Chain A
Amino acid sequence: MRMYSRIGRWAAVLLVVSAAGERGLCQAAENIDQLTKTIRAVEPKGVGHREAIAAWSELAKADVADLPQVLAGMDGADDLAANWIRAAAETIAQRAAGQKESLPLDQLEKFLADTKHSPRGRQAAFEMIVAEQPAAREQLVPTFLNDPSMELRRLAVAEALDKAAALVKDEARQADAAEAYRTALTAARDTDQIDAAADELKKLNQPVDLPSHFGFVMRWHLIGPFDNREKKGFDVAYPPEKEIDLQATYPGLNGDVKWFEHTTDDAYGTVDLNKAIGKHMGAIGYAYAEFDSPTARDVDIRLGCINGNKVWLNGELLTANHVYHAGTAIDQYVGQGRLKAGRNQILVKVAQNEQTEDWAQRWQFQLRVCDHLGTAILSADRPGKTQVSSR
């Protein structure tokens, strides 16, 4: 795609670069690398700010031709530093626009195409390209369908949904529409887009396995209630935190409790403990699942839970949140851990408090296993398991 007539300019520039000029360019490049390195050294709590402020001031003066290199400074940057560098890139682009200078579109496009660069740097590059050349959007967006940048991928999925919606209006192309929606669903990682594709597939009488698409764990062993009156049970290690013995009986809040099996049929994997264990206030429930993995690998364990909660993977605490009735959503809490090859143990602690308001009665959770992009990872022994394609 050589839609921009900029190669000529770059070729001319390269031809006339003198040795001295080349050295100057190298020095400029080294300088930008040093400046972005200084900014990447910013740490939490304001550590490194003074150096970063000085470096940012210099970086923002960089030539517009150096934008790809500035954006490359986001490679390996954490969330904080990425924002500093993006602001410098936007400032450079704004100054260029004010001076009627063109962006280095070809170089930005090459940068965008190279998925080794950070997703954030590439997203910024895309936004700059389409700000100067809106027509580029039409050609670039379809290439993002499996992009590691969730923001870029979202654009492609939205476009795929639009194309499918156009097809479904044609009675003769229902099969094509179904295939198009399936393509969109497979690529989608954002809940609203997943729901949109799934709803349309269902209307077309196509099977949709939402729990598998997300990677929700559906089969659990549950036990409870244990005591959480005055919220004091959250930090009490009840027996399930010390051993997993599915045959054991333990003293609970209102008498002995024992493990029982529970499979949710909720499309979003929600386990309603008020129904499964019974309605209790000031109570703790535990959920345990086994997860078979053919190989060792890093995973996200993502929890949605409106109650206090803790999640362990093979005995390692991944996340703990002593928060009650302050909203819930899919992927509300993200724990990062590592599956071992073979059988893994996932344990969830769900703490209900004693609030009496109507809106404070839910006692539930939903948990999924996925990679860092949100692509489902399914237990090898999952019934009807079909691994969602992953990139």
Chain B
Amino acid sequence: MRSIAFVLIGLVFLSTQLAADWPQFRGPNSGSVAASAKLPTDWSDGKNVAWKVDVPGKGVSGPIVVGGRVFVTSDEGARQQMLNVFCFDAESGEQIWRRTFWATGRTATHPTSANAAPTPASDGERVFAFFSSNDLICLDLDGNLQWYRGLAFDYPKAGNDIGMSSSPVVSGETVVVQIENQGDSFAAGIDTKTGETRWRMERPTGANWSSPVVLPAGGKRGESVLLQSHDGLTAVEPMTGEVLWRYETQCSGIPSSLMSDGWLLVPSNGITALKLSDESNSPELAWDENRLRPGSPSPVAHDGKVYVLASGVLKCGDLESGDVLWQLRLAGQHWATPVIAGEHLYAINADGTAHVVKLGEKGELAATNEFGQGVMGTPAIVGDAMFVRTKGQLWKIASP
């Protein structure tokens, strides 16, 4: 009994720890929301910038924050063949460690992207750094290598010379990667502890840059992982890869789905909203709204609203009906998914202009701030701080 109690205490601790972290692309539950965070709305050198540090190399991945440490990936070399994983102290910005590897798969990308395009993921004890070259690197939080998989070393036709960008997710003791392209196209569940393959599933051939999503357990449903592809959705059991359900709909190839308050919001026909009840193991269509079509950034949902960003226009829709409530023009081209902190949405464009939008009955542009370098990766929010990876730097935005 005592050992069970220790395990339970440990699980509660881990769960609490992860809740305080930003452990993956778009943060906890892939939601891009830190509801209670109090971020400054304006910043500049010397004002509300806790620190900024150089990150050598090239990368469009976002940072993650785990256990008070910020993890960022980049690539270097004439062929983007050198893979870097950096660990910085979240408090001070000091670099704690750096590891460098040689890519084992295809490293070419479009000039605007990078080999370091997928955002890493963590289970709270390990970091899973993934790259366009399909190298999957597992390190503990202190930088000790746990294992190294070259998934294109295993399957040499896996890759896309425009670049891959699907970010991994962790469910239990499985890290799930989605590698869809014109060659060896597959998804795989990898044992977090050993790096061994638990399952591998053939996927449709064709370019796809969207990321898998963990669908939390509820009612009779166990936790599952959602794979989004051009021809629809597939939910799999993380340990076995068993297909739990499929839903046919033509999905976008770049923005990713998200689960919010029982709503599964899919970039399909604009936004397709599915209801995934606790009693059912298959989703039901609630609404779809073509006017809520997301561009490259993924949709965000919070407080009964869904937000999409396309062609520089931020749109707000009602989560129950899909009705478009308001729209607001922002500047520039956006790749990073916006994040919500408190009552503000932060949308940073590819030129490095951060739009701070006050959310409410109407969207109101509260402020714009310049990073001075392009931003492609989705920021991370932990506590009352936002971590932003620019073209060559990592910033911590926080009030003193």
- CB pair A329–B108 under 8 Å, yes or no, is yes
CB nearest to A120 among chain B residues: B102
Q: Report Cα–Cα, A322/B148, bound state, in Å.
A: 28
Q: Chain A residues near B149 (CB, 8 Å)? A: 46
- CB pair A83–B97 under 8 Å, yes or no, is no
- CB pair A91–B145 under 8 Å, yes or no, is yes
A384 on interface, CB distance cutoff 8 Å: no
Known: A46-B194, A49-B147, A86-B100. A79 touches B108 (CB 8 A): no
Q: Chain B residues near A322 (CB, 8 Å)? A: 182-183
- CB pair B162–A80 under 8 Å, yes or no, is no
Q: Chain B residues near A88 (CB, 8 Å)? A: 145
A284 on interface, CB distance cutoff 8 Å: no
- CB pair A46–B196 under 8 Å, yes or no, is yes
- CB pair A80–B153 under 8 Å, yes or no, is yes
- CB pair A154–B150 under 8 Å, yes or no, is no
- CB pair A323–B195 under 8 Å, yes or no, is no
Known: A79-B153, A326-B181. A56 touches B161 (CB 8 A): no
CB nearest to A320 among chain B residues: B157
When the two chains form the complex, which single residue of A45, A53, A323 contacts B146, counting CB atoms closer than 8 Å? A53
CB nearest to A91 among chain B residues: B144
Q: Chain A residues near B161 (CB, 8 Å)? A: 323, 326-329, 332
A50 on interface, CB distance cutoff 8 Å: yes
- CB pair B194–A84 under 8 Å, yes or no, is no
B78 on interface, CB distance cutoff 8 Å: yes
Q: Chain A residues near B144 (CB, 8 Å)? A: 57, 60, 87, 91
| A148 nearest CB across to chain B (Å) | 15
Known: A190-B78, A321-B183. A53 touches B147 (CB 8 A): yes
Q: Could you tell me how many residues of chain A have their Cβ less than 8 Å away from some Cβ of chain B?
A: 39
Chain B residues touching A, range: 35 or more
CB nearest to B104 among chain A residues: A79
| A154 nearest CB across to chain B (Å) | 6
Q: Report Cα–Cα, A60/B99, bound state, in Å.
A: 13
Known: A46-B196, A326-B160. A79 touches B150 (CB 8 A): yes
Within 8 A of B (CB), among A313-329: 321-324, 326-329
Q: Report Cα–Cα, A328/B139, bound state, in Å.
A: 33
- CB pair A80–B150 under 8 Å, yes or no, is yes
Q: Chain A residues near B148 (CB, 8 Å)? A: 80, 83-84, 87
CB nearest to B103 among chain A residues: A79
B197 on interface, CB distance cutoff 8 Å: yes
| A369 nearest CB across to chain B (Å) | 20
When the two chains form the complex, which single residue of A46, A52, A90 contacts B99, counting CB atoms closer than 8 Å? A90
Q: Chain A residues near B143 (CB, 8 Å)? A: 90-91, 94
Q: Report Cα–Cα, A330/B78, bound state, in Å.
A: 12
When the two chains form the complex, which single residue of A44, A82, A192 contacts B78, counting CB atoms closer than 8 Å? A192
| B160 nearest CB across to chain A (Å) | 5
A151 on interface, CB distance cutoff 8 Å: yes
Q: Report Cα–Cα, A84/B100, bound state, in Å.
A: 11
CB nearest to B81 among chain A residues: A151
Q: Report Cα–Cα, A176/B330, bound state, in Å.
A: 54
Interface string of B150-163 (1 = CB under 8 A from A): 10011001001110
| B192 nearest CB across to chain A (Å) | 12
- CB pair B110–A49 under 8 Å, yes or no, is no
Interface string of A163-197 (1 = CB under 8 A from B): 00000000000000000000000000011110000
B101 on interface, CB distance cutoff 8 Å: yes
- CB pair B104–A80 under 8 Å, yes or no, is yes
| A59 nearest CB across to chain B (Å) | 10
Known: A46-B197, A56-B145. A327 touches B102 (CB 8 A): no
CB nearest to A327 among chain B residues: B161
Most A C-beta atoms less than 10 A away, residue of B77, B102, B150, B154: B102
Q: Chain B residues near A327 (CB, 8 Å)? A: 108-110, 160-162
B207 on interface, CB distance cutoff 8 Å: yes
Most B C-beta atoms less than 10 A away, residue of A57, A323, A326, A327: A326
| B81 nearest CB across to chain A (Å) | 8
- CB pair A83–B146 under 8 Å, yes or no, is no
CB nearest to B146 among chain A residues: A53
B239 on interface, CB distance cutoff 8 Å: no
Q: Chain B residues near A45 (CB, 8 Å)? A: 154, 197
- CB pair B102–A323 under 8 Å, yes or no, is no
Q: Chain B residues near A127 (CB, 8 Å)? A: 100
Q: Report Cα–Cα, A91/B145, bound state, in Å.
A: 9
Within 8 A of B (CB), among A121-151: 127, 150-151
**7 A-B pairs closest in CB distance:** A327-B161, A87-B145, A190-B78, A46-B196, A79-B104, A44-B154, A323-B182
29 intermolecular pairs with C-beta atoms under 8 Å apart: A45-B154, A45-B197, A46-B190, A46-B195, A46-B196, A49-B194, A50-B196, A53-B195, A60-B145, A79-B102, A80-B104, A83-B102, A83-B104, A83-B135, A83-B137, A86-B101, A90-B98, A94-B97, A127-B100, A192-B78, A321-B157, A323-B182, A323-B183, A326-B160, A326-B162, A326-B182, A327-B109, A327-B160, A327-B161
- Known pairs A46-B149, A80-B150 / 7 extra A-B pairs, C-beta < 8 Å: A44-B153, A50-B194, A53-B195, A94-B97, A154-B78, A326-B161, A327-B161
Write the residues of chain B forming the contact surface with A, with a CB cutoff of 8 angstroms.
Answer: 77-79, 82, 97-102, 104, 108-110, 135, 137, 139, 143-150, 153-154, 157, 160-162, 181-183, 190-191, 194-197, 207
